[in-house]
Each structure stands twice: as structure tokens, then as C-alpha cells.
């Protein structure tokens, strides 16, 4: 009886030790996942990293990939009576380039004209936010959009009525990232909600 009882104690103790080790291993794994989740964000399906800023666009956006000065391009199919897509284009001009926050906000405002010919700055809505310690600046307004008028090298300008423009400047660790949304109002408003969620959850 004594020997059998001692054997039972040994088996029980070993079982408890194994369980404790398994729990410790699990806790360790959970800690490693939590520690590295931010670093691995850019490897998630659909995630993108530009100038040390990582963000994840909605999976239903069409990804046109980078082209020229555009580091990324996304499109959303028209909704309702809209006949054109809404688009978000992402720009990065280097750590010391891009013209500054306020200059870009004003340049975007200048790409909209109002039906009565008044100053579009009077109707532009400004807001700000913080994403993972990065300052974000937003301007939004409706009107006729001067398509092509914001290109640095100039070019032909087409006036597109009943459009919405939303510009976002996100000040990242390697310089600002510029997100510009334009499109017919109904479609652009839907894409705007998704854009703002995307930039507000961006990480560095």
C-alpha cells in the first residue's frame, strides 16, 4: 500500500508539472504574439506599408498598385445613380518633401470650384485625429472637381460637377503620407467612411 501510494503521488506531481509547463508555454506564446503583432501587421493579407506607415485597405477596394508618383491606388465601384468610380490615391514625397501640411490642404481646396463662384475655403471642413501617435489632418468639401488640375507638371483640366474631395495628411516617422479621395458624391461618401477608418487605425 505504501509503495502504491508513493507511485500515485509521483504520477500526480508529474501530471501537475506537465500541465503547469503547458500553461507557461501558452502564456509565453500569447506574450510573443502580442509583442510582435504590430511588427507583423504589414504581412496581413491586403496590408500595405509606405514610408514606415502600415495600414489595411478594405478588401473590396480595387487595388491598382503603384504608378508614377502614386505609391498606391484604390477604386470603389459607383453606387446609386453615380456613373464613375471613387478613388483614393496615396502619395509620398520623402522626409522633407511634399510642401507641408497646410500647403497641401489649401492646394486640395483649390481643386474644387463652387457653383456660385465663391471661395471653396469657406465651405471646406477641417478636422484632425491621432493614429498610433501620428498626427492626422483632414479637409473635405463638395463642388466641381478640377480633374488633372493638381498635377505638379500641369496638364489638361476637366471639370467634374457634383464631386467630393477628401484629403488626409498623416505625419509619419519618415515624413508625411498623403491620401486623396475624389469621386461622385454618393460613392465618395461611402469610400470616405472606409478611408477614415483605415487611416485612423494606421500604425508606425
Element housing 102 (H / E): helix 101-109
Q: Rg of the chain's alpha carbons, rounded to an integer?
A: 26
Percent of the chain with pLDDT over 70: 75
pTM for this model (two decimals):
0.76
Nearest-5° Cα angle at 204, 181 to 124: 30
Element housing 182 (H / E): strand 175-184
Decide which of 36 and 129 is more confident: 129
Q: Are 169 and 178 spatial neighbours (Cβ–Cβ below 8 Å)?
A: yes
SS3 133: coil
pLDDT in tens, 24-68: 444 443 433 333 233 333 345 589 999 999 999 999 999 999 999
Topology classification of domain 45-200? Protein Transport Mog1p; Chain A (3.40.1000)
The answer, yes or no, to whether residue 190 has pLDDT greater than 70, is: yes
Contacts of 124 (CB under 8 A, 6+ apart): 109, 112, 139, 140, 141
Q: Could you give the CA distance from residue 165 to residue 108 in angstroms, rounded to a whole number? A: 8
Rounded to the nearest integer, the mean pLDDT of the chain is 82
The predicted pLDDT at position 45 comes to 59
Task: Look at residues 169, 97, 177, 99 and name the one whose alpha carbon lies nearest to residue 139.
Answer: 169
The answer, yes or no, to whether residue 111 has pLDDT greater than 70, is: yes
Element housing 124 (H / E): none
Q: Are 139 and 108 spatial neighbours (Cβ–Cβ below 8 Å)?
A: yes
Contacts of 168 (CB under 8 A, 6+ apart): 136, 137, 138, 178, 179, 180, 181, 195, 196, 199
Amino acid at each position: 500500500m505504501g509503495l502504491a501510494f508513493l507511485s500515485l503521488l509521483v504520477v500526480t506531481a508529474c501530471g501537475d508539472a506537465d500541465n503547469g509547463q503547458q500553461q507557461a508555454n501558452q502564456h509565453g506564446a500569447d506574450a510573443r504574439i502580442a509583442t510582435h503583432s504590430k511588427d507583423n501587421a504589414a504581412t496581413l493579407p491586403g496590408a500595405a506599408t509606405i514610408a514606415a506607415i502600415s495600414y489595411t485597405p478594405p478588401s473590396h477596394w480595387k487595388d491598382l498598385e503603384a504608378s508614377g508618383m502614386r505609391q498606391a491606388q484604390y477604386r470603389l465601384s459607383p453606387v446609386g445613380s453615380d456613373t464613375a468610380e471613387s478613388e483614393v490615391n496615396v502619395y509620398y514625397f520623402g522626409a522633407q518633401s511634399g510642401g507641408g501640411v497646410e500647403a497641401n490642404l489649401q492646394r486640395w481646396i483649390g481643386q474644387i470650384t463652387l457653383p456660385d463662384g465663391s471661395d471653396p475655403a469657406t465651405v471646406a471642413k477641417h478636422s484632425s485625429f491621432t493614429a498610433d501617435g501620428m498626427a492626422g489632418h483632414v479637409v473635405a468639401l463638395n463642388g466641381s472637381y478640377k480633374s488633372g488640375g493638381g498635377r505638379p507638371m500641369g496638364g489638361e483640366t476637366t471639370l467634374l460637377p457634383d464631386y467630393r474631395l477628401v484629403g488626409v495628411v498623416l505625419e509619419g516617422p519618415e515624413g508625411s503620407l498623403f491620401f486623396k479621395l475624389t469621386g461622385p458624391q454618393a460613392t465618395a461618401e461611402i469610400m470616405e467612411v472606409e478611408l477614415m477608418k483605415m487611416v485612423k487605425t494606421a500604425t508606425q
